[in-house]
Structure 1
Amino acid sequence: MQAVLGDRVIATAEDDDLIRIEGNWYFPPASIDWASLEESPTPYTCPWKGVCQYYSVAGGPSDIAWSYPEPYAGAAERVGKDFAGYVAFDPRVTVSA
């Protein structure tokens, strides 16, 4: 699968390497083009996943991706897989096979 914004591919990973959480595909950290993203100061804490880190596209839209670098205890068990550092994208990013 790929995560694409305009003509920029932000992530590419095999389907088996992704995790589906609450309707969003989470890409493994190694699949992300980190040169395309920069950390955002936007704060958010999910009640069961933990403290979120948002990302913006360098020179583009803000807060288009997010990650949970250190999920709360029990979150991985709830999902069935450790998703620490995995990155999901908002609807402005096209995620497709």
Structure 2
Amino acid sequence: MQKVLVAIPGDEVWIQEVTAGTKPFRELVGGPLDCIQLGGGFILYCNQDGSMKDLPVNPHFAQGIIKGPFVITKTEQEGKDAGLDEEDVQFVMKTFIRT
């Protein structure tokens, strides 16, 4: 299990434990994944069809416009999702999340 940050429009931001693989991310964002590299190994997954489906703008993301839910995790050097530790969560909240 790994910890990820989940942000859904109209809801609070929270940390959730998920199993490895892309299936939990697809379920959380409600569709096919779009992957945005945020730097430092941090990855944002959002719904690839968010604009086409006219999903609501997610007010939680402070670095641009994301439509619909998104998940932020961190990858290892090999590119595998590693999840977030407590220090990562604090960095993500400070850097990428609008409160």
TM band (smaller chain): 0.3 to 0.5
Q: Hey, which of these two has a bigger chunk of strand by percent?
A: 1
